[in-house]
Amino acid sequence: MMLLTVELFGKFMLYGLLAITAIIVYYAIKLVIRARNVVRESGGYIESKPMKHFHVFLIMIATASVIIYLLKIGLENNVGMLNEVVFLIFPYLALAIFLMGSIYRYKSRGFQVSSLSSEFLERKKLFWGSQPFHWGLLVLFFGHLIAFLFPQSVLAWNGEPIRLLILEVSSFVFALAALTGLVLLIKRRMTNSQILVVSNKMDMLVYTTLLVQIVSGLGVAYFVRWGSSWFAGVLTPYLRSLFAFNPDIAAVSAMPWLIQIHIISAFGLIAIIPFTRYMHFLVAPIDYTWRGYQLVIWNWGRKSIRNSRAHFFGKKPTT
Determine, yes or no, domain membership for 174: yes
DSSP string, 103-170: HHHHHHSGGG-S----TTT--HHHHHHHHHHHHHHHHHHHHHHHHHH-HHHHHHHTTSHHHHHHHHHH
Asked whether residue 65 is domain-assigned, the answer is no
Domain that holds residue 159: 84-283
For 28-41, give one letter per residue: b (16+ CB within 10 A) or e. eeeeeeeeeeeeee
Reply yes or no on whether the pLDDT at 142 is more than 80: yes
Domain assignment present for residue 48? The answer is no
On whether residue 279 sits in a domain, the answer given is: yes
Has residue 307 been placed in a domain? no
- Residue 294 carries which DSSP code? P
Q: Is residue 317 part of a domain?
A: no
The pLDDT assigned to 178 comes to: 95
Number of domains forming the structure of the chain: 1
pTM value? 0.74
Q: Given this model, what pLDDT does residue 2 score? A: 47
- Is 95 within a domain? yes
| Lowest-confidence pick of 120-124, 209-213, 246-250 | 120-124
Average pLDDT on 4-10 reads 53
Q: Which CATH number characterizes residue 104's domain? A: 1.20.950.20
Measured distance CA(178)–CA(181) in Å, rounded? 5
Tell me the average pLDDT across 193-210: 85
Has residue 7 been placed in a domain? no
